[in-house]
A and B are shown apart, each in its own frame.
Chain A
Amino acid sequence: MKRVLLGLVSLAAIAAVVAWVLSAPQTLSETALANLQPGDAVRGEQVFWAGGCASCHAAPGAKGEDKLRLVGGVKLESPFGDFIAPNISMSAPDGLANWSLEQFANAMLKGTSPDGQNYFPAFPYTSYTRMELQDVADLFAFMKTLPAVDGKAPDHEVGFPFNIRRAVGLWKVLFLKEGPVIAEPLTSETDLAVWQRGRYLVEGAGHCGECHTPRNPVGGLELASWLSAAKAPVGNGTIPDITASEKGIGSWSVEDIAYYLESGFTPDYDSVGGEMVSVQENMAKLPASDREAIAVYLKNIPHK
């Protein structure tokens, strides 16, 4: 009896150690960082709009030039509590003025903070992890050209146990995946280079899946139902299916999708609404070829 008990206790101890080790925040390797070129702010502006940083990190309701003042404060409601996007302007007391590129890249690609903590996935690094390191460097160079705005955003309003950053480490083991979601286009007629660009934008910086894909009870994306509609995080709205099926936007042509991202009008002249408005306004700032690439990628997603 004693021996069994001892065995159980040591098993529990091992499990605890394993959990502790697994939940340790990850960082980028030295070799990954070694080949990095200094960032290009002009290219970085495109990455900034593709990534939609301003939708969360500008002040709530910001329009026009104010979208470049990344003072934070937007509240992101979720079943786990309310997260508040922080100040990521170049403010010294409250923002990223003293961050190195390496620290910034670890936040974006690994969800790990400069002091080695896990970020909550309300910050969509689960998608950003698929971005190229050089794009992250360009993005950081652009952000350095933006105004420094002082001011601390309020703390998150998240209760126990969801407020434990270490526990997010285990969540990351399950749901932080760098690889692509979709391996190949539906049809071999698809222009592969265009489709790959679309995939990179949708699955990476554009983080379209974070809203359009359903989540499991612990908040992980159900990748098997990629882009097949989701319940809005709060309230009783739904975020539409954007797969190329009857339930989704199968009846839209590539031009229709690209035009929607440019103008906000659907093929039957309904107008974009809700949270998609700020996404659409960001997409309108990208080159037409990028909107077309996104459209080509979406036309190749079956409904599951």
Chain B
Amino acid sequence: MRFLKYGIAVAALAAASLSLNAAAASDDPVADRKAVMQSVGAAAGLGGGMLKGQIEYTPAAGKAAISTMNAAAHTFGGLFPDGSDMADNSTAAPAIWDDRAGFDAELAKFAAATGAAAKASGKEGPADLDAFKAVFGPVLGTCKSCHEGFRVK
């Protein structure tokens, strides 16, 4: 997967964003939040692939990765209603419901990083790989600390 060619990555991202839209319309919060995180994973794959030089960087692709992340950061927090913690197919940890403030703090860090990246990316997307790295690196840096406390396999 990390050796994705640009075209496949963008297609994956488009599919993931489609499911993001479909998700917003359904009434299954577990399916919705998993779809949102899958789009985050696809955007990380595209951005990470460009950072590693496996996919050629273009400002448009940089912008696509950033805006997917930013959309996710703004919708994800609403998908954890009471009672959606017991689902078998979910890897959301009980801590989300026991320590909502802690979870919200992780969400806020995620949204701060994606918001800053979206702002820096402007109309055309970050001009070159260095500009992209400066704003996308911090977004990738927020995944781990949320998964550490709020996800269980």
Contacts and interface: CB of A to CB of B under 8 A. Distances in A.
Contacts of B152: 232, 235, 237, 273-274
Contacts, number: 53
Interface in B48-94: 48, 93-94
A271 B153 contact: no
B144 interface: yes
A267 interface: yes
Given A267-B2, A269-B1, A277-B144, A238 B41 contact: no
A282 to B, nearest CB: 13
Nearest to A61: B149
A101 interface: no
Given A235-B152, A240-B153, A256-B2, A268 B45 contact: yes
Interface residues of A, number: 21
B2 A271 contact: no
Contact of B44 (A239, A259, A269, A272): A269
Nearest to B47: A269
Contacts of A267: 1-2
B151 interface: yes
B30 interface: no
B42 A235 contact: no
A264 interface: yes
B100 interface: no
Contact of B144 (A239, A240, A264, A268): A264
Interface string B2-37: 100000000000000000000000000000000000
A171 interface: no
A80 interface: no
A175 interface: no
Contacts of A239: 153
A65 interface: no
A277 B93 CA distance: 15
Given A273-B147, A280-B144, 4 more contacts: A271-B143, A271-B147, A273-B148, A277-B145
Interface of A: 232, 235, 237-240, 256, 259, 264-265, 267-274, 277-278, 280
Interface of B: 1-2, 41-42, 44-45, 48, 93-94, 140, 143-145, 147-148, 150-153
